[in-house]
Amino acid sequence: MASDFTPLSAAVLTISDTRTEATDKSGQLIVDLLSQAGHVIVAREVVRDDVSAMREALGAWQRDPAAAVVMTTGGTGITRRDVTEEALAPFVDKQIPGFGELFRSLSYAEIGAATIQSRAFAAVCGRQLVFALPGSTGAVRLGLEKIILSQLDSRTKPCNFAMLLPRMRED
């Protein structure tokens, strides 16, 4: 029985052509919220909206899976430069469609029909859980506070991602 909190290791990837780590409010919000919840940030990077750059970052984290959870922010819209889903596609072993569906449902209450422009998603990639959030701080806060943080908390009943991670990471 998992009655004690189990901190998870997390990596944060911001996808943006204009942000740096110093100006990356969404990535910093992810770091802050995960850290406040008791999780450990093991890596953070900002890459441009480029398929190769994103694959290089995620590929490095996959080869050395210190992070059980990878959080991305940015590149989930519908413009030509929004290629997060396409960049991560080769790494996806199992999609978690309920995340995107729930995210857009909750987002609808805040921004209305504009939520259909979001391609937020989650997936199992190798031994890691990957959550791809839009680049706005509002979307990051919504995704983390309303969905992700409780699912990364080993005390959440009846079930949570934290309790599944050990089985995902077995050989």
pLDDT tens profile 40-64: 999 999 999 999 999 999 999 998 8
pLDDT of residue 171: 65
Q: What is the mean pLDDT of residues 70-81?
A: 96
DSSP the chain: ---S----EEEEEEE-SS--TTT-HHHHHHHHHHHHTT-EEEEEEEE-S-HHHHHHHHHHHHHS---SEEEEES--SSSTT--HHHHHGGG-SEE-HHHHHHHHHHHHHHHGGGGGG---EEEEETTEEEEEE-SSHHHHHHHIIIIIHHHT-TT-SS--HHHHHHHHT--
Lookup result for tokens 């996808």: 15
**What is this structure's pTM?**
0.95
pLDDT of residue 38: 98
pLDDT of residue 2: 45
Instruction: Give the span between the Cα atoms of 38 and 20, in whole angstroms.
Output: 25
Q: What is the mean pLDDT of residues 68-96?
A: 96
pLDDT tens profile 121-161: 999 999 999 999 999 999 999 999 999 999 999 999 999 99
Q: pLDDT at residue 106 above 80?
A: yes
* Complete domains list, the chain, with CATH: 9-168 (3.40.980.10)
pLDDT tens profile 10-26: 999 999 999 999 999 99
Q: pLDDT at residue 1 above 60?
A: no
